[in-house]
Amino acid sequence: MKKKSKKVTGMLLAVTMMGGLLAGCGSSSDDSNNASSENNASSPKTVNGVDVSKEAKLVYYLWGAEGVANKDILAEINKKLKSDINAEIEVKYIDWPDISTKYPLLFASGESFDMSHTSPGAPISYFTLANQGALVDITDMLDKVAPKLKAEIPDSTWAATKVNGKIYGVPSLYSEFTPTGYAYRSDLLKKYGMTEISSIADMEKYMDNVVKNESFPPINGNADDAFNMFRMLVDTTGMWLNAPGINPSEINLVTKSPEDYKTVFDPAFTQEFEDWAVKMREWADKGYWPKDIMSSKVDAGTNFRAGNSAGYLTHAQDWIGKYGMDTKAQPNASLNFYTFAEANHKIKRKLGVENSTSISINSENPERSLMAIEKFMTDPSYYNLIQYGIGGRQYVIENGMKKTPANFDEKKDGGGFAAWSLRNDKYNLPMDTENPIRSSLNDKWNKEAINDPYTGFSFDPKNVSTELASISNVNQQLGMQIMLGRTKKDPKDAVAEYRKQLKTAGIDKVIAEVEKQLANFTPLAK
C-alpha cells in the first residue's frame, strides 16, 4: 500500500483542551503462504498473497514506561515476526504522566509510525481520530490481510468500531467492567462489627471508625481523588451518566438517564452538587483524608500498601489487578470493593472499541501492521509474549494459572507491555496476582450491565475549544477544591462562585454545542 502522508487538521486545538488531564508454545503460520519455520533463517515471500519480501520495521506506540526486561521480550517477539511476516517491531513509550499531552501530539505532529492504542476515552478519541483522517481504513484490508482476525471478532463487536460505515481499529476481545469504587479492608470492617459497605452511609460509618481507632486516615491520596469524589457523586445519583463534551477525567457533563441521552447538563448547577459539596467539607473536617491532600505526590493505593491508609479510590479492574501487590503488602487486610454504581444498576459494559489498536495514516506498512495485530490476537504463542513475557522467566503456568517463577528478580526480569488492546478472553490466563473474584464479578455484572449510550459518538470541540480550555482551568482550581472540601469559603458560597466562573468560562455554549452535535446521533446499541 502506498504511503499516505497527512497531518490531522484541528488536532493542535484538541491538544489545547487536553491541558487538564491509560497457552501455547509454537508459532502459528497457518495463514501464511510459503512461510518458513521459526528456526529457518529465510523469511516468507508472500503472506495471504501480500508481498512481504522486503523487511518491515514497525513502530508501535504504547502507554507506560519501559520495563527492564522489555527489550528481551521484544527480541523474542521479533524472532517470530521475522519468521512469519518478515517484520520487526520497535516499541515506543508514552509514560503515564505524559499521556494527556504527548498522545495528542503524536497525531498532530504528522510523525511516521505504524500502530498505537486508541479508545473513545483516550485524550484524543478514537472516533475523532477516525473522522479527522488520522487512522487507516482497514475495512477491506481485513478480508485479504487478516482473515483469521476478521473471523475471530464478532460482527457486533466490529460494528461498534465503525465510523461512517468504515473500520479504523481492531477492538479487543476482553471482558471488562471498570466502575469506580472504594477498596477497603475487610479485617477492619470485621473489627468494627460491620459486614459490608454497600452505600455511602456504610462508607461513612467505616471511615468514622478508622478515624476513631487507627493511626492512618480512611483515604490518604492526592489531588486526583477530587475526580474520584465527583465520580462517586455521579454514580450514586439517580440514573446520571457521564456525557460527552468535557474531558471525562475532569468534572464533566452528565445526562439524567440512558434514555434521555440527548439532554446534557453540568451537575454543578444542581442541588445534588451543592449538597455533595457540603458533604465533602464534612468529610474533610472529619479527617477522612489528610489536610495536605491537594499537594500530596503519593496516591492512596501506594499509601495503603505502605500501611498508611485504610483503603483507596480506584476502578474495579485496577483493584482486581493489584490484588497480588495489595495482598503481599498487607496480607491481613483482605480488601473488598464498594462499587458506587452498583446500587443504581448503572455499571456500564466496556465494548471492544474502548480498547482498540489502530494503524496510523502515516504508516509505511499498514498491511504488515495488521498482520502483526492478527498474530498477537489469534496466536497464543504471540499472545503470551506480548501479555505475559517469556515463559519460565516472567511467568510459569501451573494448573492453568499464570504465576511468578520462584527465581524471578524484579530488577532483572521485571517488565511487560500495556497492551490491553490486544487482549482476547480465549487466550487470557487467570493470574495469581489477580483477584480471583474477577470471574464471578464479570458474570454478575454482565447480567445487569448497561451499554453506554454515547459509544460511537465523537464530539468535535473545534467550535468551543477556547471555552473548554477555560472550563478546564476552573475545574482544576475551584472544582477540585470543592470535591476535596478544601475551599477557603463556606462550601455553598464556593459552589456559587464555581457556577459563576463556569458561566464566565462558557459552559452554556459548550452544552449547546454538545446537544447540537447529539441531535442526529443514534446509539450503536441499546
239-257 average pLDDT score: 92
55-80 average pLDDT score: 97
- Are 132 and 358 in contact, with CB atoms under 8 Å apart? no
pLDDT range class, residue 42, cuts 50, 70, 90: low
- Are 175 and 427 in contact, with CB atoms under 8 Å apart? no
Higher pLDDT, 352 or 134: 134
CB 172: neighbour CB atoms within 10 A? 27
Higher pLDDT, 28 or 267: 267
Whether 50-176+350-440 shares its CATH topology with 179-221+289-347 is answered yes
Those residues with Cβ within 8 angstroms of residue 487's Cβ, 6 or more apart along the chain or in another chain: 281, 478, 481, 494
Helices (H), ranges, 337-484: 366-378, 380-388, 410-413, 438-448, 465-474, 480-483
Q: What is the pLDDT of residue 117?
A: 97
Interatomic CA distance for residues 33 and 451, integer angstroms: 41
Q: Which three cell numbers stand for residue 503?
A: 458561566
Interatomic CA distance for residues 71 and 68, integer angstroms: 7
Instruction: For the chain, give the mean pLDDT.
Output: 89
- pLDDT by residue (tens digit) across 408-455? 999 999 999 999 999 998 998 888 777 778 878 888 888 889 988 988
Higher pLDDT, 155 or 360: 360
pLDDT range class, residue 176, cuts 50, 70, 90: confident
313-324 average pLDDT score: 90
Give the amino acid at 222: N
Q: Which CATH superfamily is domain 50-176+350-440 in?
A: Periplasmic binding protein-like II (3.40.190.10)
pLDDT range class, residue 48, cuts 50, 70, 90: confident
In Å, what is the CA distance from 319 to each residue of 166, 199, 334? 35, 18, 12
User: Is a pLDDT exceeding 80 seen at residue 10?
Assistant: no
Interatomic CA distance for residues 449 and 469, integer angstroms: 33
Q: What is the pLDDT of residue 27?
A: 34
pLDDT range class, residue 3, cuts 50, 70, 90: very low
Q: Which of 241, 237, 273, 244 is nearest to 260 (CA)?
A: 241
391-401 average pLDDT score: 92
Backbone angles phi, psi at 326, to 5 degrees: -65, -45
264-280 average pLDDT score: 98
Q: What is the pLDDT of residue 382?
A: 98
User: Is a pLDDT exceeding 60 seen at residue 399?
Assistant: yes
CB 292: neighbour CB atoms within 10 A? 9
354-379 average pLDDT score: 97
258-285 average pLDDT score: 97
44-62 average pLDDT score: 93
Interatomic CA distance for residues 152 and 117, integer angstroms: 19
Q: What is the pLDDT of residue 26?
A: 34
Enter the DSSP assignment of 350: P
Domain ranges, ordered by start, for the chain: 50-176+350-440, 179-221+289-347
- For 157, counting Cβ atoms within 10 Å of its Cβ (0-12 exposed, 13-18 middle, 19+ buried), the class is middle
Which class would CATH give 179-221+289-347?
Answer: alpha beta
- pTM for this predicted structure: 0.75
In Å, what is the CA distance from 496 to each residue of 482, 500, 510? 11, 6, 19
Q: Which three cell numbers stand for residue 170?
A: 481492531
pLDDT range class, residue 459, cuts 50, 70, 90: confident
pLDDT range class, residue 25, cuts 50, 70, 90: very low
User: Is a pLDDT exceeding 90 seen at residue 190?
Assistant: yes
